[in-house]
Amino acid sequence: MAKPLVQLRPGEEGTVVSIAAGRGLYRRLLELGLTPNARVKVVHNDGWGPVVVEIRGARIALGRGVAAKVLVS
């Protein structure tokens, strides 16, 4: 069952299922490597501030609103 990336705890991993965003944000996230079927691992998510994820060997910080639009399973 898919859930927003923002709900994962540090250390948890997921596979990107879809991105519920407009064209501009969707394209930006694709450019950052958040493509369908990509594996992501949450590095930092303490309930406020950015969500830091590791994807394809790189760490990126996403705002909580953006992370809520990325659905993972």
pTM for the whole thing?
0.90
What pLDDT does residue 20 have?
94
What pLDDT does residue 3 have?
94
Question: How far apart (Å, rounded) are the C-alpha atoms in residues 48 and 33?
Answer: 23
Torsion of CA 29, 26, 44, 56, to 10 degrees: -30
Q: Is 71 left (phi over 0), alpha (psi -120 to 50) or beta?
A: beta
pLDDT along the chain (73 residues), means of 10: 94 96 96 95 93 96 96 96
